[in-house]
Homo-oligomer: A and B are copies of this chain.
Amino acid sequence: MSHKSFHPHHRILMGPGPSNVNPRVLTALSHATIGHLDPQFIELMDSIKTLLQDTFKTENEATFVLSGPGSLGMEACLVNMIEPGDKVIVCTGGYFANRMIQIVEKIGGIAVPVKENWGRAIDPQKLEDTLKENKDAKIAAFVHAETSTGALSNIKELSKIAHAHNCMVVADVVTSLGAAEVQVDEWQLDAVYSCSQKGLACVAGMAPVSFSEKAVDHIKSRKIPVQSWFNDLNLLTGYWSGQKRSYHHTAPSNQYYGLHEALLILKEEGIENAWRRHKENSAKLILRLKDEFNLEPIVPAGERIPHLLAIKVPEGIDEAQVRSDLLTKHNLEIGAGLGELAGKVWRIGLMGYNSNEKMIDYFISALKKELHKH
């Protein structure tokens, strides 16, 4: 195999993430490396922390970023909150909630699924019913924006129900944070995780997390120690808080530069403005898809993630070929279906830096060229 320097194509990334990154973030990534215990780096961490608190809408002290992708965030929240033998209610109507079940079981927890049809928001009544039948459940876990189907659940409502049944809440806000309303404190989400490369418009590889005071107490008073060293909140907080920081792992400083810049850009825009922008551009995209191709999201209106649509592939179309042609001829990436929806849908993201009219135009025009061939 011959090797040479890598020069990526300039793709338009309109799949489920990563999405394109603001050039300011790319520049930040290439700043000179500093050490993970450098006082200047600790200042950067503190700044990231308060910017994340703003983004999550929380005053949780235990708000920070994990040095790995969003799926590490999922594992970290679950492995801290759950002890082997704990009963965990998992609302599932898609691929990522199913992953939660897998992780709960790997940890040794007992996962009780609340099953919803793929492409629908979780029905709160189903959670209520399941909780009534499982009075010994300790945790309820759900996904806000199910990236595999495009459905957005009302986790404010789900959380209320869970707390009424004395459950703490683990919530996945991977695809919502920064792009749709997320209110960690108001909605009483005890442990939440997200990613860097969707609504935050940063590169992939970091997992913002936040734990309520109640969650931190719960983790501190576990009977069985957290099975993971890398994700153990008790160890991580020693690095992320207090006057004297204790070494935990070598933080990827250049990645943190990028995240900081991305959070700053979001702050400059104003997070409520970002939510509105995502909603408005999505509405435009949905109209154009209907007008030009008679295509519609599989999720009913009112249950849709604004910025990530799963669209049913039209009859008689080779969906993989269209995706491949979009990529090779138009440098345009859209997403394939996952799990139950593999081969059946395209997933179209309009997230972060890409949520603007130019991207909609580009997408519609490229899709037109490819679909009209068939």
A196 to chain B: closest residue by CB: B252
CB distance from A359 to the nearest CB of B (A): 15
CB within 8 Å of B: which A1-42 residues: 1, 3-11, 13, 15, 17-18, 20-21, 24, 26-36, 38-41
CB within 8 Å of B: which A251-292 residues: 251-255, 257-258, 260-261, 263-264, 267
Task: State whether A205 touches B252 (Cβ < 8 A).
Answer: yes
Chain B neighbourhood of A218, CB < 8 A? none
Which of B26, B36, B47, B70 is in CB contact (< 8 Å) with A30?
B26
Q: Is the interface of A mostly helix, strand, loop or mixed?
A: loop
CB distance from A341 to the nearest CB of B (A): 13
Which of B1, B250, B260, B327 is in CB contact (< 8 Å) with A69?
B250
Number of identical protomers: 2
A38-B333, A249-B71 known; A8 vs B31 contact (CB < 8 Å): yes
Contact with B along A194-223 (1 / 0, CB 8 A): 010100000111100000000000000000
Bound-state CA distance A107–B30 (Å) is 37
A143 at the interface (CB under 8 A from B): no
Task: State whether B18 touches A261 (Cβ < 8 A).
Answer: no
A226 at the interface (CB under 8 A from B): yes
Task: State whether A249 touches B40 (Cβ < 8 A).
Answer: no
CB distance from A340 to the nearest CB of B (A): 15
Task: State whether A5 touches B34 (Cβ < 8 A).
Answer: no
A225 at the interface (CB under 8 A from B): yes
Task: State whether B204 touches A251 (Cβ < 8 A).
Answer: yes
Task: State whether A229 touches B106 (Cβ < 8 A).
Answer: yes
Which of B18, B32, B206 is in CB contact (< 8 Å) with A36?
B18
Interface residues on A, range: 35 or more
A371 at the interface (CB under 8 A from B): no
A322 at the interface (CB under 8 A from B): no
Bound-state CA distance A9–B31 (Å) is 9
Bound-state CA distance A352–B267 (Å) is 37
Report 23 cross-chain contacts, Cβ distance below 8 Å, ordered by A residue: A3-B47, A3-B51, A5-B28, A6-B257, A6-B260, A8-B33, A11-B33, A11-B34, A15-B35, A18-B33, A18-B35, A29-B30, A29-B254, A67-B72, A70-B250, A71-B250, A99-B229, A102-B229, A103-B229, A107-B227, A203-B253, A205-B205, A205-B252
